[in-house]
Amino acid sequence: SAKREGQNTWRIFDESLLDEARERFELEADLRKSIEGDNFTAHFQAKINLQTGEIAGVEALMRWNHPDMGSIPPGVFIPLAEQTGLIIPLGERIMTDACHFARHWNDGNRKPIRVSVNLSARQVMLDDFIPMLKGCISRAGCRAEWLELEITESMLMSDPQRIDELMRGLSALGVAVSIDDFGTGYSAISSLTRYPIATLKIDRSFVHTRVNDGKPSAIARTIVAMARELGIKCVAEGIELAAEADMLRKIGCDEGQGFLWHKPMPEEEFFRWVTRHEKSAAAQ
């Protein structure tokens, strides 16, 4: 009967909703436990100076070591962490790791490089973001100019007053700002002259595409030209082919990042990669 069908339909709908809620709830509980258990680590990926081949910077990318499911990528847990407010302790965790890394690297005999950290919208809307950042920097014995924070275009466009305050705070501290995934969000072109933006990162969708066949897209070329005109450094992310790196170098892109050199990896492994990279660069 219609009534029965209705009930069945309701039950199916209900159960799938319940499953989804249960899954989310479980993942959230796991996330909480993992934060207490310290199951998060930063992986690191180099930014290469395309003109000289030198390591110009490093990006810290968070990984969740789930007890049963293994390494979970940030695309899965960052949105959940934002919804639940857990991004606050997580954000502090990655900032701490990045500051220690910057101290470790820059205290040696190396040329100082910047370590970049990704920020999420919810994190910067918090009143004590700048004090948290200062705390991480001073506890690690790191310097503000060794850090760079990556924010997205949509964050720039979201809450002008808040962003003004954030930018002033970061400028006062001496921490650089980079616009991540440039070209994919709401246009932030007017913000480029309004705020002291140090770096534009061309989104990998304009860098590595199957149809590109090693040629950077017209958009990548345009972003590089605009960045140069404005005196802003330009980084291309997601470089997978040597041909892509060559073309980006030719059009004047400053730095590149991508699987062509290496995938993001834990600190120890990253330092081993650096040693190999420097040896092979010296041999050339």
Rounded to a whole number of angstroms, the minimum distance from the CB of residue 12 to ligand C2E is 34
Judged by CB under 5 A, the residue of 118, 120, 199, 257 near Mg ion is 118
Does 120 sit near Mg ion (CB under 5 A)? no
Q: How far apart are CA 190 and CA 180, in angstroms?
A: 16
3 state SS of 257: coil
CB nearer to ligand C2E: give 213 or 229.
Answer: 213
Rounded to a whole number of angstroms, the minimum distance from the CB of residue 57 to Mg ion is 11
CB proximity list for 126: less than 8 A, separation 6 or greater: 88, 132
Judged by CB under 5 A, the residue of 30, 97, 148, 150 near Mg ion is 150
Per CB under 5 A, contacts with Mg ion among 183-212 are 201
Name the burial class of residue 1, with classes exposed (0-12), middle (13-18) and buried (19+) by CB atoms within 10 angstroms of its CB: exposed
Rounded to a whole number of angstroms, the minimum distance from the CB of residue 237 to Mg ion is 5
Interacting residue ranges for ligand C2E, rule: CB under 6 A: 45, 61-62, 73-75, 78, 94, 118-120, 150, 180-181, 204, 237-240, 257-259, 264
Q: How far apart are CA 116 and CA 101, in angstroms?
A: 11
Give the other-Cβ count within 10 Å of 14's Cβ.
10
CB 79 within 8 A of CB 62: no
CB nearer to ligand C2E: give 34 or 118.
Answer: 118
Best CA proximity match to 278, nearest among 49, 107, 102, 28: 49
CB proximity list for 284: less than 8 A, separation 6 or greater: 53
Point out the residue whose Cβ comes nearest to ligand C2E. 258
Per CB under 5 A, contacts with Mg ion among 220-279 are 237
- Which of the choices Mg ion, ligand C2E, none does residue 34 contact, using the CB cut-off of 5 to 8 A by kind? none
Q: How far is CA 3 from CA 7, 8, 9, 11, in A?
A: 6, 9, 10, 12
Rounded to a whole number of angstroms, the minimum distance from the CB of residue 251 to Mg ion is 19
Rounded to a whole number of angstroms, the minimum distance from the CB of residue 157 to ligand C2E is 16
Rounded to a whole number of angstroms, the minimum distance from the CB of residue 265 to ligand C2E is 10
- Which of the choices Mg ion, ligand C2E, none does residue 267 contact, using the CB cut-off of 5 to 8 A by kind? none
